[in-house]
Amino acid sequence: MNISEVKSILAGESYYRINHSSGLPIYVYPKKGYKSAYAIFGTRYGSINNVFSVDSGEKITVPDGIAHYLEHKLFESEDGDAFVRYAKTGANANAYTSFDKTCYLFSCTGKFDESLEILLDFVQSPYFTAKTVEKEQGIIGQEIKMYDDSPDWRVLFNMLEAMYENHPVKIDIAGTVESIAQITAEKLYEVYNVFYNLNNMVLCVAGNVTVEQVMKIADKMLKPCKKHEIHCYFQDEPDGVLKPYVEQSFPVSIPLFNLGFKEKPDCCITEKQKACTDILLSMLASPTSTLYRNLMNEGLINTSFSYEPFEGPGFFTIIFSGESREPQKTADRIKEYISDMKKNGLDKEDFEIAKKAIYGGSVSALNSVSTIGNLLIDHHFNDNEIYTYLDEVAKAQFSDVEEMFSHLLDVDNCTLSVISEIKGE
C-alpha cells in the first residue's frame, strides 16, 4: 500500500491518495472543523460503454441502458435493500449513472464508519436472479417513459441525437423499453465482473474523516481482484453535425432551447484546455458579458440561460441553453456574437473578470465536501487531479484563451434543439 499527500499552495490545503493493496485507488480529503462527511464509490462504466473487450478477447455487445439497470439492481441483496441499512445509520444515500461512469454515494453527520461499510459491502455484493431482473424491467420502463415526458430531458437528447451520427452519447442513459427487455441476470453479471473490478474503480471521501479511519474500513471490506485490460469501442464519428435543427412540441409555457456546438474530442482533454475553455465561456456568456446583457435587453432570455462544456470519451459539445419565446432568434444572436468576437477579437478586461470569477469559484468549491468528492472522482477518471486545474486557471494567459477560441465554437457546426409550445395551448 502506498500513501501520498497532494498539496496546493494556492488553496492552502491537501488531500491523500492511497493505492490500496486490493487494487482500488482511494482519495481522502480531511476538512478540519467540518461536521459532515461524504463518500462516493464509482466505476469507469457508463451508458456509452456498450461494446467492449477484456484482455484482448472478442468484442462483447450489451443492451443499451444496462449500466443504469445494474446501478438499480446493486442496491438489492438476499438480505434486503441497502437503503434500509442506511436508514439505521442516518446517512443520506444515492447513486447515479452518467455517460461514462456509475457512482454510489452517501453523506452523513454521524456513524460514518458504519455507512462506509454498507457502501463497500453492497457495491461488491451483486445479487441478480431472473425474477428480480424481470421485476425491475417494469420499474425502469416507467422511468424511461417519465424521462420521455420531460421537456428538459428531451431538449438535450433531441440535440444529441441530431448532432451525433454514431457515438452512443446520443442514446438515452436508461436505454429504451425495447433494449432493457433484453437484459438478463447473466448479462448483468457479465458487465459487473468486467467493470466493477476494483482496479477500474475509485473511492473518494471528504469532510470529517481521517486517513486511518478510512483505511481501517477499506482493509476490512475490500476484496482484492485481478486487474484486467478493458477496451471500449466506438464507431468513427464525423466532424459535422447530423442535423442543424430539431424541434418537438410539449405542453410548456415558454419554449426551451439547447444550442450545441460540436467540437473535436481532443480539444478539451488537458487541465489547461479545460481551464481556458471555462474562462472563455465565462467571457462570452456569463451574466457580466455583453452577450448576456444584449439577450436580456431584447427579452430573448431569462435567468434560466446557462452554458456548459459537455465532454467525455469521444465527445465534446459546448451547450448554450435556457427558455426563450424566440429560440431561433436567440440562437442566431449567439452565433452572430461569436462570429463578431472571432472577427474583432476578445477583450482583455473581460478575460481578467472571467479568470477571477473562475478562480474564485474553484477555490470556494473546496468548502463543500460533496463538491470535493465529485471533483476528485471526475479528475481521477480523467487521469488528472483537482489542484492542477486550479493552478492552470491561476496561470492562464489571455493568449492561451485566444488560442482556445480559435479551435472552438464553429457557428457552421452546431445544432439547435427546441421544445416548442403545443399549438393552441
Q: Which residues are catalytic?
A: 71
Do the Cβ atoms of 39 and 243 come closer than 8 Å?
no
**How many helices and strands, by DSSP H and E, does the chain display?**
15, 17
If residue 354 lies in a helix (H) or strand (E), which one and from where to where? helix 348-364
Q: What sign does the CA torsion over 291, 292, 294, 298 have?
A: positive
In sequence order, what are the beta bridge partners of 248?
A: 419
In the chain, the amino acid numbered 314 is: G
Quick one: 194 exposed, middle or buried, by C-beta within 10 A (0-12, 13-18, 19+)? buried
The x, y and z cell numbers of residue 336, run together, are: 452572430
Longest CA span, the chain: 66
Q: What is the dihedral of CA 185, 191, 192, 196, to 10 degrees?
A: -170
> What is the SS3 assignment for 127-161?
CCCHHHHHHHHHHHHHHHHHHHCCHHHHHHHHHHH
Q: How far apart are CA 244 and CA 331, in angstroms?
A: 11
The position carrying cell 442543424 is: 244
| DSSP-derived secondary structure for 82-121 | HHHHHHHHT-EEEEEE-SS-EEEEEEESS-HHHHHHHHHH
Q: From the CA atom positions of the chain, what is the Rg in Å?
A: 23
Helix, strand, coil % in the chain, rounded to nearest 5? 45, 25, 30
3-state secondary structure of 13: strand
Q: Helices (DSSP H) in 3-111: which residue ranges?
A: 66-74, 82-89
Do the Cβ atoms of 25 and 47 come closer than 8 Å?
no
Do the Cβ atoms of 50 and 399 come closer than 8 Å?
no
